[in-house]
Amino acid sequence: MRSKRNKTIDFSLDEASPTLLEQILHPTENIKDAWDRIINGDSFKIMTALSPRQVDLALIDPPYNLNKQYDGLNFKKMTTGQYQKYTQKWIDLLKPLLKDNASVYVFSDWATSMVLAPVLEQNFIIQNRITWQREKGRGSQKNWKNGMEDIWFLTTDPNNYTFNVNQVKQRRQVIAPYKQDGVAKDWQSTSTGKFRDTLPSNFWDDISIPYWSMPENTGHPTQKPEKLLAKIILASSNPGDFVFDPFAGSGSSLVTAAKLNRHYLGIEQSLLYCAWGQYRLNQVKNDQSIQGYTDGVFWERNTLAAQRKIMRHKN
């Protein structure tokens, strides 16, 4: 029997309400200028039908170059050349959709990155490569466990792009609080401890993958956490901007964009994943919280009690 604390969204299509399914767009409908929707279909076909130059921020979480099942649909590991062609294909379709000052983030594992990087470099300005230490990973007897992912930060223009660094500060516990003439240097003492709000680096170790007791968790095999997407969306877009995700999965990027008052459009081939995403989107009007992002800053792992205390004080 499933634990009461298990919040995973994993209903079947038979269990989905007809009203929920009706909210999902299909390629036969008018999709050209669709905003704030999920489209169920093949991105490679749908992207050709969308209006150009609308996207401020594209979040690309493509199938990594691995054998993987997505709701019964198989993605088969390709040769280096084939995966590079596959990547170039979605890039060619994406580029006309981007505004001149757009940013693009691409997710990958280390092995896929080796194949991906030369193609990204030919098409975009590579601004950075973020390492996400996602903590969980499958252990191996003959190799090091894979506990990292890459996130490539790309722009179309070398200088003209949005980057709101002050909106993505990380609140860190101060281990050795230093005082100068009796005054705290660069840190603050709060009811829950001594903290410093720091500028974020390209090493992210404060975000775990969604797990079963989190309301955002779904049955999707490679779901990204809302906290991770919130960092990207806050840094690289402004309220009212348009966020696009052509491999939307369970809708994590769309939900996070909606919570942060951005417009969004997602495309996903699996109707089941679209339904989970739409279900999550429908809940945004009741709950805009993003676990780990409280009081306008990103918190370290295992600080939920302190975050709750701060919010109780504020309320």
Ligand X SMILES: C[S@@+](CC[C@H](N)C(=O)[O-])C[C@H]1O[C@@H](n2cnc3c(N)ncnc32)[C@H](O)[C@@H]1O
Quote the least distance from Cβ 62 to ligand X, whole Å: 6
- Closest to 291 measured CA to CA, from 201, 241, 225: 225
CA distances from 168 to 50, 134, 157, 296 (A): 31, 18, 22, 8
Quote the least distance from Cβ 18 to ligand X, whole Å: 23
Whose Cβ is closer to ligand X: residue 171's or residue 227's? Answer: 227
Residue closest to ligand X, measured at CB = 249
Whose Cβ is closer to ligand X: residue 127's or residue 269's? Answer: 269
Whose Cβ is closer to ligand X: residue 206's or residue 268's? Answer: 268
- Interface residues with ligand X (CB under 6 A)? 42-44, 61, 63, 70, 220, 222-224, 247, 249-250, 252, 267-270, 273
Q: Are the C-beta atoms of 256 and 235 separated by less than 8 Å?
A: no
Quote the least distance from Cβ 134 to ligand X, whole Å: 12
Whose Cβ is closer to ligand X: residue 72's or residue 182's? Answer: 72
Strand order in the sheet with 263-268: 37-40, 263-268, 242-245, 55-60, 98-108, 148-155, 125-133, 203-204
Whose Cβ is closer to ligand X: residue 34's or residue 310's? Answer: 34
Whose Cβ is closer to ligand X: residue 198's or residue 222's? Answer: 222
CA distances from 98 to 147, 196, 224, 266, 294 (A): 32, 36, 23, 15, 31
Quote the least distance from Cβ 238 to ligand X, whole Å: 22
Quote the least distance from Cβ 278 to ligand X, whole Å: 13
Please spell the DSSP secondary structure of 254-290, one letter per residue.
HHHHHHTT-EEEEEES-HHHHHHHHHHHHHTTT---B
Which bin fits 49, alpha (ψ -120 to 50), beta or left (φ > 0)? alpha
Quote the least distance from Cβ 265 to ligand X, whole Å: 12
